[in-house]
Structure 1
Amino acid sequence: MRLLLPFVLLAFGARGQAPQALSKQQEKNLSAFARLFGYVRYFHPSDEAQTISWPMLATKGSRQMLAVQNDAELIRELNNLFQPLGPTIRVFSTRQPVKFDPATLQPPGSAHATKVVSWQHQGLYTGKGKMYQSVRLNRPGTPGSTTPLAVSMDASAYAGQPYEVDLSWRRGKNSPPATFTITHRQLLGGTENRRATQQRPNQAVAAAGNHYLFSGRLDSAAQRLDLALGAPAGFEDSLNVTISAIVKGKKVKLSPVQGESDKASDKQTVEIDFTSPDLLAEPLFKEQSRLGDYVTREVAPGISCTVPLALAANAAHTYPLADSLRLNQLHIKANDRTKYPAEWARYQGERTIGLPEVRLANVIEAWNAMRHGYAYWGSATVTPDTLLHQTLRRAYRENSTLEFQRTLELMTAALNDGHAWAMHSAYSSRHYTVPAYLGKVEGQVVVLQVLTPRLAPQLRRGDVVLTIDGVAAEKVLQEQASRISGSPQNKEFRALLALADGPKDQPTTLTLRRGDSTLTVRQPRTMFTPNYQTGNLITAQRPNGWLAPGIYYYNLATMPETLSPAEFQTLAQAKSVIFDIRNYPGNGVYSLIPMLLKAPAETTITYNMDMLRPDQENIRYSPNVVRKEPGAQHLSGKMYFLTDVAAQSHPETFLGLLRGFHLGTFVGRPTSGANGGISYVPLQSGFSVSYSGMLVKNADGSRHHAIGIQPDVLVTPTLASVRQGQDLILETALQLAKSGK
């Protein structure tokens, strides 16, 4: 996207003085920390590692890495940061390797371990969405995303006083017959969400007719007490809760409040997690790490690490146990407000992107999700390590919100993935453009369609755009495309859609060539900048209907979940049907496939990424086989499907199945080449990134990513066809249908 948004800069404050570039030692420190961070977060299965706030650790670690002066200090600091999360994690000089000893994984003589805990990843779960899964085997499943109860209590009159939570529930008829472990956790003074001293991690209670009482003390700065109850999947019990402050030995019931507090720092949160030792996470696939499995990696030149991938455990703990004092020191506490402003500010909802450690932490989190979860590193412009170093350098140097947005855009652009975006909550949807569509025809930027009739005297189809606000259109196009991720055709398509975008109603000046004349048009930006799903809105719209005797045109963007009886009868009468899928249709299109099949068929276009080890080592791709049976209704005519770059993701799945089942002729241009589920990574200060986390191939096993589905008949529009308002792709399909080819 083109980010010409001066009002955004005002909203987030003036740009501070840019810091100096990273030194070689700082860059080495940060890259070593980044690699080890991902190994521990996603592949070391200790219970201690599940208690940490990973964004917080990324920020704290980044700040410390900036201060480390030499390799010896780096080794010491990395061990200090990560051994509290796993005592068997080791960082050492590559010249003096530390041999991994599996005996260190065994519990002490008095303890008894009966289970092996390890990670399985199918894709990589990054905290948002349900497309991908990450589970720790032999540990309770992740609590469900639903919140049966969430209340905020006014505690302003009782700061510093004891409080009591009285919780009861009765079992729903479909709840599993299991006991539940209840863990009480607090957010003290608006900072780190960590286990409180009054936790009872092993208290088992019956699942029906239960009553649970626990107490705590309100922080001296607390104005509110927020209570959230989360339950695992399948938990359908009825929950009731009473929260009381204790004043001079008497209970005073706290009342719910409406709305949000103006200051997030005035919150104190209690979370109660319902987990069940009887409802362990189900394995995602057969292969599992074994006790004694580990990885040794060089995280920076001359510095290596060893990280175990499986740990012995009983119902209460993984082994060996970490030093609780060192673990506690990793958590940011209320009295650290001055010492650690970045971490504190994170929980205040403040815009902290001006702090280098926050920007660096965002890069480290984003890069690790991509490093281990992105499906197409072979198609990227640079290697993962090069991308990490490039982005760390940019993030340290470019310290405004707008600059960091561009840093993330360049990071995702290097993936060459149409599903890779860099987003910010404040201006992700605030782009506007002139009410016209632009395209690239015969090597020139051209007006394809004018959407506002009153503009017709100023803009016409086929006008060649020479400059935009005084800058050559081709230069603007290349600059836009440089921050867009995807195939070459996808980069160009999306860059053209946003070529003239900017703040709402702000005029843009276009210099045009029309025949032998050159003219200048000044036009306000009044239309939302369209996204890639715009599709055949760019071409002349036409209603569904007969194009010639026996030949019917059907725009799949108009298709409901199922064809109506009248629509089916019409299509069944046609000798040929031209389906237009230069768009983003609904899921109803899949109901067409059984109507086109003559016999049962199966094909495979998507593959899950099954992972046990970091860096996608020994990754396994498990196929998702699609089997279809012929339907009761059948369309016997010859089928043509119109394609172009606007078909991305969901429509490419539909087209991929059609191609796999050999159900029609594709006419037009290549599709986008970006399919499979999207993985989203939430970051600090309102940022997020996304990428493709599933392998997709064409049905014949050939590469799909960044290439797309190739048409059987390639059609390229011309300047003459644009000026005459012709839809060459449709006209070509019509001619093929008439000839029966």
Structure 2
Amino acid sequence: MYKVNLIKLFTFSLLQCLLLGAPIQAQDRSEELDRLIAFARLAGDIQYFSPTDMVNNMVLPDGWENIIWNGVRMSRITANERDFVDSLARYFRPIEPSLQLTYAGEKITTAPQRVEKELTVSRQHKGLQLYTGRTGAFKSIRTDRRSLIADANLSYFDFIRIRVPQGQAGKAYEIKLAYRSEHNRLLKCYVNDTFKEDMNLAASDSVYIQRDTIPQDADFYLIKLVFSESLGAFSLAHDGFIRIGGKKYSIKDLTVEEVPASIKGVEWRMIGNDQKLFDEVNEIGDTLRLQLTGQISAEFPLAVYATKEETYPLAPVSAVHYPYNKGLPKNLYFDTEIQNDLNLRLTNVILIWNVFRIAFVYNPFDEKSEIEFLRHTLNEVLEGKDLDDYDFTLRKMLHAYKDAHIFYYNKLQKGKYEFSAPITLIHLGDGFYVKKVHDESLDGRLKPGDRLIAIDGEPIEKRWKKQRYFATGSEANLINNAGVFGLLYGQSGSQVRLSFGDVDTKADKEITTVRNFRHPKKHLYTSFLERSDNRMLNDSTYYFNLSDNNLTDTLLRFIDDPTKHIIFDVRGYLTRDSEQKKLLNKLITDTVVQRNMLGYHILSPTNKKFVSGPQVYVPENKNPKAKFYFLMAESTQSAPETFLDVIKYWKVGTLIGKHTAGANGNINYQYLPGDISVTFSGIKVVNSDGTEHHRNGIPPDHEVGYTLDDVVQKRDPFIEKALEIIALHADKKL
């Protein structure tokens, strides 16, 4: 009895180790990190560059998130490096049958015999398309074979949606289809996401008879046509009738507005093999080689032979029966509780790191420093005490990539950084000052120009060392987002004790207030303008807040009036209306060809290049224009930077203010287990004169910033500078 209890205790302890992430025995931390890094590199490269059917199919069953999570657990409980190599072989050979592993010069696995087939399959990436977070600008495919990730972009259309005639449930039916296609088409029939049959349509202008059976007890019947955006020239229609149990019915007469949501229906998926994204491809013989540790090396092919049905060599198991992609909850993306699992925390770091090292266009690391960065980050997670430590580690990780287009969300932290003390701050070079007070109870105790000294007794200099990690990108962007719009944030309703230096007396003073204020995020940069509405500032000068307002008839009339001066305020974002109505085309008088955005063509971790594509802007008319002036600041980023790049380098108007954020280009979304998401830059941007844009932005023609006196007097030096320039031009004409 005593022995049985001991066995039960040992079994329970082992299970706890596997589930909670604790190693079975004390290990040298350095060796543990070596194995985690080796696993991370191999897993990421196979996931994104192996072209096998198994790698492709692993997108769907339980996903690569499960594979990485279980691999992290495996790496941490392996007793020694030799056993670790054996584990890698068991783990990855079913996914990549051609994987070769070597340990201390000994071949652990060898390449199978080559089987030559008529197709060659390899991977191509434009940026990086992620199954968990799709963005239209990015695409990942397998040449000459279907990529399941492309299913994420399929369109669904109700082809037939009918009420089943009484007494016809469970009976066979047929539908005559008329179609037109220039080449062969394959429709795959699915029922409840389970493949049922193929429908082969030969290239022609022809008919096809589809036969099937209506389910027993069905009141409704639904057929969905599913196709990709790259469908090409193709048409498909029924002849208007369905024959059920030998009886002919009009489909129009049976059609209903909708069917119950519980009915998924039949899907006819029209899916072809992926076409090349660009000319350069991996070919048979191209190999990815990795030195994972001092003793372990790995390699696998970047291109394999295939038929229309399978890649070769064949995998020893199917995706459904692969044993190492199980374990995480079915709702892993939204289950915040799984962040308590240490292995899951390590997994998310690895998932981020692999994506960023492959596709982040502003990657600041070389291969050596990249690995050291991963080591440092994993070690921080292992040493972290709680979920707040973990969250802060992820913030520091993203901060290290130095791009203001990186956004981070962790649902577990929601609410902690949404409410501010009722004060707007401004940074004046030597510190943070009060710009505006939003609580009447603080009137007389606090005023514009007071300098912030401490928060809850902690000096600002010390608080800022940690707070700066809550943003990324240029120093100006850190100050604006982590400082001006971040220093005073905290839990809703929480009290905060603030120490200030009085602007007049220079004496220290202290106030206690409540975090109950939300800054309007619409404008990341606040001015001192008492009015932000569109209006005439003098007889010839019109102010238009382009970050807040849709285009008006008055603005459009003034644009083509050469006697007018128009000041556009772009210290926030651009309205969607200004893009939809093509404001830029109304401002220019000559065609502009902008080549400042560079797409990322990726064939392997070491074979990547940037390719530019033109953006063309054609003037709406060539009429004489008004004089244009544009106010901009450190918070001006993304689409406004594309807009202002044309204004600057094609001399459309005068730029006044500060360098923009230097954070432009499309972004990729990555969703992680535990309800976490991050974004990263997927398109590189340069200024049109060839200068660096990243973290530098568009330089102004006239640099302007706030002084302490501006803050105290509530002046807007940006507007004043614009009016000064306009007056100077008027004087010259006189």
Q: Is the 8 A contact 1:554 1:579 kept in 2?
A: yes
Task: Give 1:655's match in structure 2, choosing from 644, 655, 659.
Answer: 644
Q: Is the 8 A contact 1:45 1:118 kept in 2?
A: yes
Task: Give 2:269's match in structure 1, choosing from 254, 274, 280.
Answer: 274
Aligned partner of 1:72 in structure 2 is: 82
Aligned partner of 1:13 in structure 2 is: none
Task: Give 1:722's match in structure 2, choosing from 687, 706, 711.
Answer: 711
Aligned partner of 2:590 in structure 1 is: 599
For residues 669 and 314 of structure 1, do their structure 2 counterparts lie closer, same or farther at Cα, with a shift above 3 Å needed?
A: same
Q: Is the 8 A contact 2:53 2:310 kept in 1?
A: yes
The answer on 1:84 being equivalent to 2:77 is no
Distance 2:173 2:82 in 1: 51
Aligned partner of 2:210 in structure 1 is: 210
Q: Is the 8 A contact 1:18 1:399 kept in 2?
A: no
Aligned-pair CA distance for 1:183: 7.1
What do residues 370-419 of structure 1 show as CA deviations (whole Å, max 9, x unaligned)? 11010011379993222211221122333643332222111100001111
For residues 711 and 40 of structure 1, do their structure 2 counterparts lie closer, same or farther at Cα, with a shift above 3 Å needed?
A: same
Aligned partner of 1:482 in structure 2 is: 469
Look up the SS of the partner of 1:62 in the other structure: helix
The worse-fitting range, judged by mean Cα deviation, of 92-101 and 516-525 is 92-101
Task: Give 1:666's match in structure 2, choosing from 634, 645, 655.
Answer: 655
For residues 181 and 631 of structure 1, do their structure 2 counterparts lie closer, same or farther at Cα, with a shift above 3 Å needed?
A: closer
Q: Is the 8 A contact 2:333 2:674 kept in 1?
A: no
Distance 1:270 1:392 in 2: 46
Distance 1:326 1:379 in 2: 35
Residue type of the alignment partner of 1:646:
S
Distance 2:585 2:638 in 1: 21
Distance 1:597 1:653 in 2: 14
Aligned partner of 1:536 in structure 2 is: 526
What are the equivalent positions in structure 2 for 1:538-577 lying under 5 Å apart?
540-560=530-550, 562-564=551-553, 567-569=556-558, 572-577=561-566
Task: Give 2:68's match in structure 1, choosing from 45, 48, 58.
Answer: 58
Aligned partner of 1:125 in structure 2 is: 129
Q: Is the 8 A contact 1:553 1:580 kept in 2?
A: yes
What are the equivalent positions in structure 2 for 1:87-236 lying under 5 Å apart?
87-93=97-103, 95-96=105-106, 104-107=113-116, 113-127=117-131, 128=133, 129-140=135-146, 142-145=150-153, 148=156, 179-182=185-188, 204=200, 210-212=210-212, 231-233=227-229, 234=231
Aligned partner of 1:160 in structure 2 is: none
For residues 115 and 448 of structure 1, do their structure 2 counterparts lie closer, same or farther at Cα, with a shift above 3 Å needed?
A: same
For residues 229 and 677 of structure 1, do their structure 2 counterparts lie closer, same or farther at Cα, with a shift above 3 Å needed?
A: same
The worse-fitting range, judged by mean Cα deviation, of 137-146 and 724-733 is 137-146
What do residues 73-118 of structure 1 show as CA deviations (whole Å, max 9, x unaligned)? 22211121111112112222364579997x94434xxxxx222111
Distance 1:303 1:630 in 2: 60
What are the equivalent positions in structure 2 for 1:183-582 lying under 5 Å apart?
204=200, 210-212=210-212, 231-233=227-229, 234=231, 274-276=269-271, 279-324=272-317, 328-330=321-323, 332=325, 340=327, 342=328, 346=332, 349=335, 351-378=337-364, 383-398=369-384, 400-428=386-414, 431-453=418-440, 455-495=442-482, 496-514=484-502, 515-516=504-505, 517-529=507-519, 531=521, 533-536=523-526, 540-560=530-550, 562-564=551-553, 567-569=556-558, 572-582=561-571
The worse-fitting range, judged by mean Cα deviation, of 375-384 and 446-455 is 375-384
Residue type of the alignment partner of 2:293:
A
Distance 1:380 1:541 in 2: 49
Aligned-pair CA distance for 1:693: 1.4
Aligned partner of 1:46 in structure 2 is: 52
Instruction: Give the TM-score of the pair, scaled to structure 2.
Output: 0.80
Residue type of the alignment partner of 1:682:
Y
Q: Is the 8 A contact 1:377 1:384 kept in 2?
A: no
The worse-fitting range, judged by mean Cα deviation, of 380-389 and 132-141 is 380-389
Residue type of the alignment partner of 2:115:
Q
Residue type of the alignment partner of 2:80:
N
Q: Is the 8 A contact 1:25 1:69 kept in 2?
A: no
Task: Give 2:34's match in structure 1, choosing from 23, 28, 48.
Answer: 28
Q: Is the 8 A contact 2:339 2:674 kept in 1?
A: yes
Distance 1:454 1:172 in 2: 75
For residues 319 and 382 of structure 1, do their structure 2 counterparts lie closer, same or farther at Cα, with a shift above 3 Å needed?
A: closer
Aligned partner of 1:158 in structure 2 is: none
Distance 1:231 1:21 in 2: 52
Unaligned stretches of 5+ in structure 2?
A: 1-19, 159-169, 216-222, 239-258
Distance 1:288 1:350 in 2: 40
For residues 593 and 721 of structure 1, do their structure 2 counterparts lie closer, same or farther at Cα, with a shift above 3 Å needed?
A: same
For residues 719 and 599 of structure 1, do their structure 2 counterparts lie closer, same or farther at Cα, with a shift above 3 Å needed?
A: same
Q: Is the 8 A contact 1:536 1:646 kept in 2?
A: no
What do residues 38-87 of structure 1 show as CA deviations (whole Å, max 9, x unaligned)? 11111111111122220110111111000122222222111211111121
Aligned partner of 1:224 in structure 2 is: none
Q: Is the 8 A contact 1:356 1:399 kept in 2?
A: no
For residues 701 and 99 of structure 1, do their structure 2 counterparts lie closer, same or farther at Cα, with a shift above 3 Å needed?
A: farther
Aligned partner of 1:37 in structure 2 is: 43
For residues 17 and 62 of structure 1, do their structure 2 counterparts lie closer, same or farther at Cα, with a shift above 3 Å needed?
A: closer
Q: Is the 8 A contact 2:671 2:677 kept in 1?
A: yes
For residues 727 and 361 of structure 1, do their structure 2 counterparts lie closer, same or farther at Cα, with a shift above 3 Å needed?
A: same
Look up the SS of the partner of 1:594 in the other structure: helix
For residues 181 and 84 of structure 1, do their structure 2 counterparts lie closer, same or farther at Cα, with a shift above 3 Å needed?
A: farther
Residue-pair matches, total: 656
The worse-fitting range, judged by mean Cα deviation, of 717-726 and 82-91 is 82-91
Residue type of the alignment partner of 1:543:
D
Aligned-pair CA distance for 1:426: 4.4
The worse-fitting range, judged by mean Cα deviation, of 139-148 and 432-441 is 139-148
Distance 1:35 1:434 in 2: 44
Distance 2:237 2:439 in 1: 56
For residues 143 and 329 of structure 1, do their structure 2 counterparts lie closer, same or farther at Cα, with a shift above 3 Å needed?
A: closer
Aligned partner of 2:599 in structure 1 is: 608
Instruction: Give the TM-score of the pair, scaled to structure 1.
Output: 0.79
Q: Is the 8 A contact 2:99 2:109 kept in 1?
A: no
Look up the SS of the partner of 1:300 in the other structure: coil
What do residues 138-162 of structure 1 show as CA deviations (whole Å, max 9, x unaligned)? 1236125467499xxxxxxxxxxxx
Aligned-pair CA distance for 1:629: 2.2
Distance 1:208 1:423 in 2: 50
Distance 2:422 2:670 in 1: 33
Aligned-pair CA distance for 1:632: 2.0
Distance 2:96 2:598 in 1: 33
For residues 310 and 683 of structure 1, do their structure 2 counterparts lie closer, same or farther at Cα, with a shift above 3 Å needed?
A: same
Residue type of the alignment partner of 1:283:
K
Unaligned stretches of 5+ in structure 1?
A: 1-15, 108-112, 151-163, 188-195, 216-226, 240-255, 260-268, 334-339
Q: Is the 8 A contact 2:336 2:412 kept in 1?
A: no
Distance 2:176 2:409 in 1: 43
Distance 2:214 2:308 in 1: 22
Look up the SS of the partner of 2:277 in the other structure: coil
Aligned partner of 2:724 in structure 1 is: 735
